[in-house]
């Protein structure tokens, strides 16, 4: 009899994985956009980035999700539950990521920027070929943390009728009266997903830090 | 006499309340080798950083190769230079830093080829041919595929010199290029610079504490103190018969500290 219930939980796990993957992808894109905007020479872009980061860090994901799903339709933007979930999670975590991007870029020693000037590289070339390749290894560990935070934050989407893993576990619990089995199962599943993320990030880390071992030159 | 390739006209540089350069004027002839000496904080490094556009100026004018460095023709005369103008001006100038500033994530070869490929549109193949020639010249032909972290300080600095040369600048700036090196590695870098001075007609400005090298290398030595050029002249005049008391005091201290003249 348990296989049917477990199947329900696995269906929820697929939703959770989708939200995590798509949300992280959006968060990453937004983090770079906002993080680079924060360091722009145009004050309007900097201001926009600050407003975005402070707003999304300063309000709860629960409230943000509510607005994206229930209030945006009044402005003519109706989203599917999954779209709304990805949008809210991505924007929320992206705000944290933006600070990581900014910090990583600023942690690259000033001398590297000066070498770029001396070699007459343009702004974009400097970022693309010199600064970001050195900043990325500094950002990755925190990106990994953010992605795991996002994974654990996905449970809020039951607010907008998405049947994620936690929601499904509650259904199973109410149907069977057992708490241990559904919640034991999702405990393992969350842990496994988090493990995949941290292992994946570690793998990428190892790739991008190749050659950066030892002292900076 | 030919037109100066660098003309600095009463430039000043202030950091807040601190005056680093104080109404300094300087002219450099094409091909001239100049040694800038003086106590730390005297403004000699700032001169190089201004020429490389790493620092702006608080007042005055800088002309390089017949064009204003920080200004450009605009409506009603000269206007502050934009990024495009600075880019245009920087093509004539290369700089080697005290701490090498190699790109740690790129191989020796990529360090050298990056800028020619990106800024001059040189093909990768041509850039690599030239990079290998330059590595040959600095005695590091076998290190092309090494990463900077695998090199000694002297080797890093020779790569940094090759990297700057790859852009074929008319003017090369050397900012205390041996100061961060272990004593036994200094000579290999100085040898490269001797060869450069002998074999090319590049204009070179050298900030250094190696007085013996400055003596052999330079056509003219400038002694800086407190943002001004206190004394200048041929190496023999400055090192053997300094006229100013501050120059004499400085050289005595340097000799006492164990530097050769």
How much is the pLDDT for A217? Answer: 42
B160: pLDDT confidence band, cut at 50, 70 and 90? Answer: very high
| Cα distance between residue A205 and residue B32, in whole Å | 48
Residues in chain A, overall count:
217
The answer to whether the CB of B92 falls within 8 A of the CB of B66 is no
Cβ separation B105–A211 shorter than 8 A: yes
Q: Which residues neighbour B179 within 8 Å (Cβ) at sequence distance 6 or greater?
A: B98, B209
Query: b or e along B205-244 (b: 16 or more beta carbons within 10 Å of the residue's beta carbon)?
Result: bbbbbbbebbbebbebbbbbbebbbbbbbebeebbeebee
| Tokens linked to A13 | 């796990």
Cβ separation B101–A122 shorter than 8 A: no
How much is the pLDDT for B110? Answer: 97
Domain assignment present for A35: yes
Residue B186 has pLDDT above 70, yes or no: yes
Share of chain B above pLDDT 70, in %: 98
The answer to whether the CB of B202 falls within 8 A of the CB of B17 is no
The answer to whether the CB of B21 falls within 8 A of the CB of B8 is no
How far A22 CA lies from chain B's nearest CA (Å)? 30
How much is the pLDDT for A213? Answer: 55
Report phi then psi at A179, rounded to 5: -95, -40
How much is the pLDDT for B257? Answer: 75
Q: Which of A111, A120, A123 sits opposite B115 (nearest CB)?
A: A120
Diameter over CA atoms, chain B: 56
Mutate to test the interface with B, among A114, A115, A134, A135 (most CBs of B within 10 A): A115
Report the CATH number that the domain containing residue A96 is assigned in CATH: 1.10.3720.10
Report phi then psi at B103, rounded to 5: -85, 110
More confident residue, B78 or A174: A174
- Please give the helix or strand (H or E) that residue B86 lies within, else none: helix B83-90
Domain assignment present for A179: no
Domain assignment present for A74: yes
What is the residue-averaged pLDDT of chain B?
92
| Cα distance between residue B55 and residue B149, in whole Å | 29
Domain range for A30? 18-162
**Which residues of A fall within a CB distance of 8 Å from B151?**
217
| Tokens linked to B27 | 């002219």
CB of B95 within 8 Å of any CB in chain A? yes
Domain assignment present for A60: yes
| Cα distance between residue A133 and residue A126, in whole Å | 10
Instruction: Give, rounded to a whole angstrom, the gap between the first and last alpha carbons of chain A.
Output: 63
Domain assignment present for A129: yes
3-state secondary structure of B181: coil
| Cα distance between residue B244 and residue B231, in whole Å | 7
How much is the pLDDT for A215? Answer: 41
Q: For residue A118, which of B44, B209, B150, B100 has the smallest C-alpha distance?
A: B100
The answer to whether the CB of A160 falls within 8 A of the CB of A83 is no
- Report in angstroms the alpha-carbon separations of B112 from A209, B102, B115, B117: 20, 9, 7, 9
Count of domains forming chain A: 1
How much is the pLDDT for A214? Answer: 46
The residues that bridge with B68 in the sheet, in sequence order, are B63
The answer to whether the CB of B50 falls within 8 A of the CB of B62 is yes
ipTM value, please give it.
0.92
Residues in chain B, overall count:
261
CB of B92 within 8 Å of any CB in chain A? no
CB of A216 within 8 Å of any CB in chain B? yes
| Tokens linked to B208 | 């250094």
Domain assignment present for A197: no
Question: Which positions of chain A have pLDDT values less than 70?
Answer: 210-217
How much is the pLDDT for B255? Answer: 78
Residue B260 has pLDDT above 60, yes or no: no
The pairing of strands B18-28 and B6-15 is antiparallel
Report phi then psi at A214, rounded to 5: 75, -160
Cβ separation A118–B119 shorter than 8 A: no
| Tokens linked to A180 | 């241990």
CB of B106 within 8 Å of any CB in chain A? yes
């Amino acid at each position: 009899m348990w296989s049917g219930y477990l199947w329900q939980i696995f269906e929820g796990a697929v939703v959770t994985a989708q939200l995590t993957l798509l949300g992280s992808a959006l968060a990453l894109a937004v983090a770079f956009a906002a993080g680079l905007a924060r360091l722009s020479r145009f004050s309007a872009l900097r201001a926009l980035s600050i407003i975005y980061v402070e707003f999304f860090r300063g309000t709860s994901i629960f409230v943000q999700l509510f607005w994206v799903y229930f209030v945006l339709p009044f402005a003519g933007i109706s989203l599917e539950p999954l779209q709304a979930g990805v949008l809210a999670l991505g924007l929320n975590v992206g705000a944290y990521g933006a600070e990581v991007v900014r910090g990583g870029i600023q942690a690259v020693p000033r001398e590297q920027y000066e070498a770029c000037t001396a070699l007459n590289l343009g702004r974009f070339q400097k970022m693309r070929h010199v600064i970001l390749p050195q900043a990325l290894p500094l950002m990755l560990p925190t990106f990994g943390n953010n992605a795991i935070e996002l994974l654990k934050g996905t449970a809020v989407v039951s607010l907008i009728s998405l049947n994620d893993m936690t929601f499904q576990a509650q259904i199973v619990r109410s149907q069977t009266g057992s708490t241990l089995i559904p919640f034991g199962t999702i405990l393992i599943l969350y842990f496994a997903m988090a493990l995949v993320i941290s292992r994946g990030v570690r793998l990428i880390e190892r790739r991008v830090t190749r050659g950066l071992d030892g002292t900076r030159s | 006499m030919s037109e100066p390739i660098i003309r600095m006209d009463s430039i000043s540089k202030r950091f807040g309340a601190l005056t680093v350069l104080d109404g300094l004027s300087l002219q450099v002839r094409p091909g001239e080798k100049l040694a800038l000496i003086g106590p730390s904080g005297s403004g000699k490094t700032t001169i190089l950083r201004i020429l490389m556009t790493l620092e702006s100026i608080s007042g005055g004018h800088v002309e390089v190769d017949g064009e204003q460095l920080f200004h450009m023709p605009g409506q009603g005369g000269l206007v502050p230079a934009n990024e495009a103008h600075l880019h245009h001006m920087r093509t004539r100038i290369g700089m080697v830093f005290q701490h090498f500033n190699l790109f740690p994530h790129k191989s020796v070869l990529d360090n050298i080829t990056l800028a020619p490929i990106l800024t001059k549109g040189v093909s990768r193949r041509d850039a690599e041919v030239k990079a290998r020639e330059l590595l040959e010249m600095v005695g590091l032909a076998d290190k092309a595929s090494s990463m900077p972290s695998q090199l000694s300080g002297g080797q890093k600095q020779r790569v940094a010199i090759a990297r700057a040369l790859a852009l074929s600048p008319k003017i090369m700036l050397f900012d205390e290029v041996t100061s961060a090196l272990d004593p036994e590695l200094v000579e290999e870098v100085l040898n490269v610079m001797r060869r450069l001075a002998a074999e090319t007609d590049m204009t070179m400005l050298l900030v250094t504490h190696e007085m013996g090298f400055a003596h052999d290398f330079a056509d003219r030595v400038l002694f800086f103190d407190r943002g001004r050029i206190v004394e200048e002249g041929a190496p023999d005049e400055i090192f053997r018969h300094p006229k100013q008391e501050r120059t004499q005091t400085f050289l005595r201290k340097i000799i006492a500290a164990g530097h050769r003249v």
